[in-house]
Amino acid sequence: MSSPEILLHPDQDSLASAVAAALVNAIEEAQRRHGSAGIVLTGGTVGIEALRHLRRREADVDWSRVHIFWGDERFLPTNHPDRNEVQATDALLSHVPIDPANVHRMPADEGEYQNNPHAAAQAYADTLSALADSPGGLPRFDVHLLGMGPDGHINSLFPHTPATLVRDAYVVAVTDSPKPPPQRITLTFPAVQHSGEVWVLVAGESKADAVAAAIGGAEPPDIPAAGARGSDRTAWFLDTAAAGALQ
Ligand SMILES: O=C(O)[C@H](O)[C@@H](O)[C@H](O)[C@H](O)COP(=O)(O)O
């Protein structure tokens, strides 16, 4: 796995803009090398702001060869404004010519999955497996975007929770998240670390201690962002405030 690389930006807006520019390049590079690009999206303010910036660069991307996935989802009914996919759709996906069949959303809390986040997590694992080279595997994730909470959580992997210990599944349900809503679906560390590149996007002073702990080598069950590692590259996009506790 790769060592963390730090990319410093003066503020949240320039950070989000830099992420969008880097995504344009990473998508083009993945398409050149593999034919298509697989991008895993995150929720959170910075992650969604980066998508708004990417929308402004719509013409710079060949959307017909992009696959979109999610690192986690709030298990809520379709169209609920707190769903990460609804926010990403508003910010970017409904404004670009992407093939809807290439947008791989996590299931919502309704229909056959209503009140059953475990079945929904399994369904997403099946979706990923169907796109993988071998059964039970994962498709290529060229870039996995991650936000991080002040407690160091990434995706819905919260400190000292069972999901941080899972090694034998790529997707699990979380039923008692410390941050609302309690029910979520999340990729696990093995899925995150399957990614070629992992980019952690963090702004604000409230995150500074967790940034320093994660980059300083904390244990992932304590500070989950410490387990945010890509096989080829791990990039921390930080604003000055979030970098404030780094030595
Ligand atoms: O699922 C959630 O409750 C949030 O999406 C969360 O995981 C978020 O990604 C981080 O807390 C960073 O969020 P900010 O970028 O808004 O600080």
Residue identifier of the C-alpha nearest atom 14 of ligand 1: 44
* DSSP code at position 156: T
pLDDT the model gives residue 247 = 80
How far is the C-alpha of 51 from the C-alpha of 114, rounded, in Å? 29
Q: Residues 219, 224, 227, 233: is their CA dihedral positive or negative?
A: negative
Quick check: CB of 149 below 6 Å from ligand 1? yes
Give this prediction's pTM.
0.98
Report the atom number in ligand 1 closest to the C-alpha of 146.
9
Top mutation candidate among 12, 19, 45 for ligand 1, by most atoms within 8 Å of CB: 45
Instruction: Tell me what pLDDT residue 75 has.
Output: 98
Q: What does the alpha-carbon distance between residue 137 and residue 178 come to, in Å, rounded to a whole number?
A: 30
Work out the mean pLDDT of the chain and round it to a whole number.
97
CA dihedral 85, 156, 191, 163 (to 10 degrees): -150
Whether residue 186 has pLDDT greater than 90: yes
What band does 187 get if pLDDT is binned at 50, 70 and 90? very high
What are the pLDDT digits (tens) for 16-52? 999 999 999 999 999 999 999 999 999 999 999 999 9
Which atom of ligand 1 is closest in space to residue 155's alpha carbon?
Answer: 7
Report whether residue 42 contacts ligand 1, using a CB cutoff of 6 Å: yes
179 alpha carbon – ligand 1 mean position (Å): 9
Residue 43 CB less than 6 A away from ligand 1: yes
Distance (Å) from CA 60 to ligand 1 centroid: 27
Q: pLDDT tens-digit profile of 190-246? A: 999 999 999 999 999 999 999 999 999 999 999 999 999 999 999 999 999 999 999
Q: Which DSSP symbol is given to 37?
A: E
Tens digits of residue pLDDT in 72-127? 999 999 999 999 999 999 999 999 999 999 999 999 999 999 999 999 999 999 99
Ordered structural domains, the chain, with CATH: 4-239 (3.40.50.1360)
Q: What pLDDT does 158 receive?
A: 98
Given this model, what pLDDT does residue 193 score?
A: 98
pLDDT interval class at 1 (50, 70, 90): confident
Q: Which residues of 109-133 are buried (b: 16+ CB within 10 A; e: fewer)?
A: beeebeebbeebbbbbbebbbeeee
Counts of helices then strands in the chain (DSSP H, E):
6, 9
Ligand 1 site, residue 71, Cβ cutoff 6 A: no
Q: Is 183 in the pocket of ligand 1 (CB under 6 A)?
A: no
Residue 72: what pLDDT?
98
Distance (Å, rounded) from C-alpha 29 to C-alpha 201?
21
